[in-house]
Structure 1
Amino acid sequence: MHCPYPNGNQMKDPIVILGGGPCGLSCAWELAAQGWDVVVLEREPRPGGLCATNTFGEYRFDLGGHRFLSQNQELTSRILDLMGADMLVSERKSVVMHSGKRFAYPLSAPDLVENLGLGLNLKALLGYAGELIRRRISPRDESHFEGWVTARFGRPLYDRFFGPYTEKLWGIPPTQISSDWAAQRISLLNLGDAALRLIGLRRSPIRTYARRYYYPRLGMGQLFDRMASRMCREGGIIHLGADVTGLDVVGNRVKAVRYHVDGQEYLLPCSWVFSTISLPALARYIAPQSTNGVETAIGNLRSRALRFLNIPLDIPDFSENTWMYIAEPQYKMSRIQEPKRRSSEMVPQGKTSIMLEIPCSVGDKIWEADGNTLFQEMSLELRSLGYNIDSVALDHHSVWVEHGYPIYHLGYQHDRDTLLAEVAKMENVLTGGRQGIFRYIFLDTAMEMGIEAAHQIMQGSRNLKHIQSIRTEKALLEIDALTAT
């Protein structure tokens, strides 16, 4: 997509946005709507970033399990107005597959009791009782994921559910992962809370995930295709296939952005820069000759990569679930998703498809594996789980994501703050989004960050900490979303 300069006006020193995902496009949309000159540089051939939708023939696949829901009524109204009849209301159903059984997700007390059986339930309760005693004698270190979860649920449940899946997802031991991740993602307060609810002695509302959500008819990427088109109609510009390679820094200001398109380098003067690319990359561009502390932080902040194996199927349905978590460590895949559960138009009539999410690291065996080899291996895993697709798989396609999830290693806050301090030295640079502030956020929060950045630029003021603090309340992600039921 290339949008010509409005009215032939060759803009001088526009606002340049690095990255055309939810955060960057929301910033550009807001600026363009107010008449500001803005240019978006997006490395991929389509807008949307991690929320793009890839099309293979008549089948559409997102990059993960995206959905739109927000506490922000104004943002929700704007998105619904933008999408019109193309925005659907969907309902998700998720399960955790473990040892041949399906557990409701998020984990619930009645479901655990029913599926674990008498022996394992007694073992779990004894493990939790042991933790209560230990807490009085020698409390665990709860700064890391393992300690936080074990202290609240006991060793048996940690070893069965939480630990193996977490290590598979992140690729490092849970003792090296900050407990921040657990606090955001686990709905039950502890096993004691679950037991009290089970016998009816506690009835206060449980923290949970929203089941109903908004979803575009043709995949999440449709939302950002439309946002990019609207932004262009209002005078903005987006360059796709534009790979940012550096920043020209003079004093405490960025004067221009360097980028490549089809092997040719361009220099784009700028008045402001709003970055949504990875925080370590931005810090490197700002300070190529950085101090040892900055170099250490750049090396420490890493993201977990993902490889998606997309498989069209010659059957009408694969399962009744939107997605299924594969908890056991012997399986390389971490999640199975069926796109038609969000919108029937993700597949041709009478067909379905699945998307296998496989955590990996850039350059490892999974990342580099031949597509046919990986397909055969995943087919065997599916067969072991009770799904034989050998006779119904029509094709397979891989999509790679380098920066999937920020890895919350122990001490990540210090490393993140070190790099954000480098960004703060630049008078005309802001950063936001999942990669830009190295924080796990959903797309509505990323959009709010982009809109806030636009407002700060239009006002000629900077408040980086305000952008970074959007939706940082100590609450389970999604709990209070407007579409929750």
Structure 2
Amino acid sequence: MKKIVIIGAGPAGLTAAFELLKRDAKEYQVTILEETGVIGGISQTVRHGGNRMDIGGHRFFSKDDRVMQWWQDIMPRQGKPSFDDIKLHREKQLAKDGPDPAETDRVMLVRRRVSRIYYKRKFFDYPVTMKPQTIKNMGAATTIAAGCSYLKASVHKLPEDSLENFYINRFGRKLYSMFFEGYTEKLWGRHPREISADWGSQRVKGLSIRAVLKDMFSKIGPKKKNQKHVETSLIEEFYYPKYGPGQLWETAAEEVRKMGGTIQMHSKVTQIHTDAKGKVLSLTYEKDGKPETIEGDIFLSSMPVKDLVAGMNDVPAEMAKIAAGLPYRDFVTVGLLLDKLNLKNETDIPTLGNIVPDCWIYVQDVGVKLGRIQIFNNWSPYMVQDPEHTVWIGLEYFCAEGDKFWNMSDQECINFAVKELVSMGVISSPSDVKDSHRERIKKAYPAYFDTYAQIDDLIAYLNRFENLFCIGRNGQHRYNNMDHSMATAFEAVDNICAGKTDKKNVWNVNTEKEYHEEKKES
């Protein structure tokens, strides 16, 4: 029996454990070491006062059919209407013999995708569309300026040596300055000219003014039979667990335990012991303040590369320097319970309480630090204790661990967030807030600057350890979505089961040049 040790009980780690045990529970002895007391990593669900928070927002959609099927095997798609579907007389394509959300919790809901940009107190589609309302919101002069700017960018392409040039080439300088420049700087704490274009190629592949116009005209005319791609703006629905993403990963963890796997919580890995022949021998981790050691035959790591390398022995100075310099962006969510939002639902989408229908609202205004607003009612009515009479929102802030914003007390941070919402006109007064909660997440976003330019050298070094597989977002220092993190686990498990030590397929996940939410049609 091979001993498999997995670092991290997030999507990548749990997927790997589940797959190994499902394929051959007699062949593999699987142990997961999780630093925190929470299952799911950044894909956790936080409970507070009868309400639930999704940290960062997690749509369950993938162009990878294997991932989509895996999710539905864990949590079947709804076969009966959800609470808000019934109240609003909403029709959806339900799964035959699927579970009833009113009677069971282990169910995946089908949700409508709505995300918009809130800029200067007006709503714009996200991604930006060229429909009449967009032109009206921008005004004639701005629209003409944006059009001329785009035409200029189409003729005179800039070298794509920065994220700034990546955006300008696709949208023109005017739209870039309105919808990308300020928000990107909020997210990363760096101006887009300082960030590698790799981030753009990972996150906005396929999106441009040309794609927007193509999308718009495809909706006007009949769909062509040979149309092979669906751009991200056409993906109008996604799956979502009844109680948020953490519910799915908590369920997956239960299944891992049922198949014989061990999940040790509050077990922080501090040392990775290697030999000179290119093998990992064991790990040291802290549990209840005491160091413990676990040996293994194969190791899978979803812990941050920075911390992984820092814990390894005999690391060459140059590799240690690259790893130590890898940057991250940390994350704070402030949950607020309100009677109502001071925003009118001017769409034709019905909602409980007639609130705006958005899952996310992207805040482009540079006058506030706030990056995004989540409306949990719209993700799932079951995330909110009283979804008909209250609105439960999450205010997302990007920061750096240890900076002034991160170090605020809970109440200071909540007061700051509430003040920003009032200034934006999203709520009328601080008295609108009925309850609140703050969550802080370290290393939420691997960043694409500083020593990231040398990441390939570090990958080559890590690949020398034949029994070590780096998986997941932080395990690969790549801004993967949840499905990509799972795909790295699938690839690693395939290799382990086949006895392969080459890691190329694991690292190649999410490096293709198609947009990661674009799904090919047959």
TM-score with structure 2 setting the length = 0.84
Partner of 1:3: none
Distance 2:323 2:426 in 1: 42
| Aligned partner letter, 1:114 | K
The CA deviation at 1:314 is 3.8
Counterpart of 1:117 in structure 2 is 139
Change (3 A) 1:403 1:307: same
SS in 2 for 1:355: strand
Query: Counterpart of 2:372?
Result: 335
Report whether the alignment pairs 1:59 with 2:51. yes
Which residue of the partner structure matches residue 5 of structure 2?
A: 16
The one-letter code sitting in structure 2 at the alignment partner of 1:448 is A
**Counterpart residue number, 1:300:** 325
Q: 2:60 aligns with which of 68, 72, 78?
A: 68
Looking at structure 1, the residues matched to 212 and 63 of structure 2 have their Cα atoms a distance apart, in angstroms, of 27
| Match runs of 1:213-224 below 5 Å | 213-224=238-249
Equivalent residue, structure 2, for 1:345: 382
Q: Which residue of 1 aligns with 2:70?
A: 78
Q: Report % sequence identity.
A: 30
RMSD (Å) for aligned C-alpha atoms: 2.4
Q: Quote how far apart the aligned CAs of 1:68 are.
A: 1.3
Structure-to-structure mapping, 1:426-437, within 5 angstroms: 426-437=465-476
- Distance in 2 of aligned mates of 1:429 and 1:192: 43
Shift of 1:320: 2.2
Q: Which residue of 2 aligns with 1:185?
A: 203
Counterpart amino acid of 1:21? G
Map of 2:15 onto structure 1: 26
The equivalent residue for 1:39 is 31
The Cα of 1:54 is off from its aligned counterpart by 0.9
Match of 2:508 in 1: 469
Paired residue type of 2:44? A
- Decide which of 472, 478, 483 is 2:517's aligned counterpart: 478
Letter aligned with residue 410 of structure 2: G
Structure 2 residues not aligned, in runs of 5+: 77-98, 100-106, 222-226, 341-351
2-side partners of 1:179 and 1:169: how far apart?
A: 15
State the partner residue of 1:394. 434
Aligned to 1:157: 175
- Alignment partner for residue 96 of structure 1, among 117, 120, 134? 117
Deviations 1:318-338 (A, max 9, x none): 532111000111111100001
Q: How many pairs are equivalent?
A: 465
Q: Quote how far apart the aligned CAs of 1:362 are.
A: 0.7
- Is 1:409 aligned to residue 424 of structure 2? no
Where 2:303 maps in the other structure, the secondary structure is coil
Pair 1:66–1:297, CA change in 2 (3 A): same
Query: Residues of 2 paired with 1:399 and 1:481: CA distance?
Result: 37
Shift of 1:250: 2.2
AA at the equivalent of 2:134? L
Whole-Å separation in 2 of the counterparts to 1:455 and 1:200: 39
Match of 1:7 in 2: none
Please point out which of 303, 321, 327 is paired with 1:277. 303
Could you tell me the TM-score, scaled by structure 1's length? 0.90
Q: For 1:433 and 1:200, how far apart are their aligned partners in 2? A: 36
Unaligned runs of 5+ in 1: 1-11
Given residue 279 of structure 1, which amino acid in structure 2 is its aligned partner? V
Whole-angstrom distance in 2 between the partners of 1:150 and 1:23: 34
The aligned counterpart of 1:363 is: 402
Return the offset for 1:195.
Answer: 6.0
Q: Which residue of 1 aligns with 2:264?
A: 239
Q: 1:52 to 1:147 in 2, by over 3 A?
A: same
Relative to structure 1, the CA distance from residue 75 to residue 320 in structure 2 (aligned partners, 3 Å threshold; closer, same or farther) is: closer
What is the DSSP-based 3-state SS (H/G/I as helix, E as strand, rest coil) of the residue aligned with 1:367? coil
Counterpart in the other structure of 1:4: none
Deviation at 1:427, TM superposition (A): 2.0
User: Structure 1, residues 133-165: CA drift from partner, whole Å, max 9, x if none?
Assistant: 5x2xxx523210111222332222222211111
